[in-house]
Amino acid sequence: MNDNIDDIIIDTEYNFMCKLLLKLNVANDNFTMKKSKNKYCCVDFLLINEYNLQNLFIEHKQKKISGESYNTFFIGYNKLNKIDTFYHNSNTLLVWECEDDIYFTIYNNTFLKNDTKIINGGKAYLIDKSVCGVGWNDLIDCVLHHLLM
């Protein structure tokens, strides 16, 4: 048993991780996921297909909005630049889990040319919703496409 209560984190990211693994492992039980222990890391998870060692980095955002009401999603300016710097040769999945549905896209360095806006005092890139997939089924298809190559 873990005696350090600080090592036990139950939050929206943990809930997302459990949901994603449950849905993935219905199709294939070769997937594992690691959550970054560094709270300042620019990605939250590493998802690994243990069969072929293909992997996918995931940045997850929980939003208390209805995504269908907006044309864009935001991601922090520094966060996206760090993703480009440290993970530019890797597949990185950006996920916005909203109250109505889940939205996602694979990082593309052209996002760094997108418009920016000041949101809650911080600079953020705008990601057009038209480049995003929607729904858990499409998310699973996207993940499987990248991990079953």
Residue 115's pLDDT band, with cuts at 50, 70 and 90, is very high
Mean pLDDT, the chain, integer: 90
pLDDT of residue 31: 93
Q: How many Å apart are CA 22 and CA 3, to the nearest integer?
A: 27
Please check the confidence at residue 48 and state whether its pLDDT lies above 60: yes
- Report which of residues 51 and 149 the model is more confident about: 51
The mean pLDDT of 90-105, rounded to a whole number, is: 96
- pLDDT recorded at residue 1: 45
Q: How far apart are CA 44 and CA 57, in angstroms?
A: 8
CB contact at 8 A, 91 and 106: yes
pTM beyond cutoff 0.85: yes
For the cut 90, the answer to whether the pLDDT of residue 14 exceeds it is no
Contact 77, 124 (CB under 8 A): yes
pLDDT at 4: 55
Q: Which pLDDT does position 8 carry in this prediction?
A: 53
pLDDT average, residue stretch 4-11: 56
Encode pLDDT of 118-135 as tens digits. 999 999 999 999 999 999
Amino acid occupying residue 4: N
As a whole number of angstroms, the distance between CA 64 and CA 128 comes to: 18
